Amino acid sequence: MIFENAQVSIAELPQAEAVDFQKLASSYRLVEVIATCILFAILLAGWLVFYLVNPFKTAWLSWLLLAGWTMLFGLGLLVALKRFAAEGYAVRQHDILHKHGVWWRSLTAIPFNRMQHCELSRGPVERAFGLATLKVYTAGGSGSDLSISGLPVEEAQRVKEFITRKIGDNVGEDKNLTDI
């Protein structure tokens, strides 16, 4: 048998950017805003402690820190809203795609035949809004290789069941264990 490795034309490759990505649940935008507000409330409590026990008794430093907190809080809210708008996913015949990122955009494609398992997780805020996070694991990693937050629970469950079926189908196709 002669080894062949023909070159593939780049123009003939499928374009992931042309895929119609599914948006996250609109209620996830509020979850992002709430998470940002909780983080900045903790930072504001830290500022308040600093203001009350300021050993230097320099009020200008406290107010400067508060002004910085205010600017960062506004930026944090803006990024949370932009992050929601930039994120999406698509389930295709052979893989799942996930795009995310505001400043550093990322597009991840994981083929079903490389997946080990998937799971749904729901934190307290997600449960309150009827949302779930889909986590997909591949071989060799200690954590999930793909995590899609902000999915409605029913939709996340359907996608998980679809992936589980595809993983099961691929196990039977990979190898016949009696041939080893």
Q: Which of 42, 37, 65 is nearest to 125 (CA)?
A: 37
Per-residue pLDDT band at 50 (split at 50, 70, 90) = confident
Residue 175 pLDDT > 60? no
Q: Quick one: average pLDDT of 6-15?
A: 81
What pLDDT does residue 76 have?
A: 94
CATH 2.140.10.10 is right for the domain spanning 87-172: no
Write down the domain spans for the chain. 27-84, 87-172
Residue 153 pLDDT > 90? yes
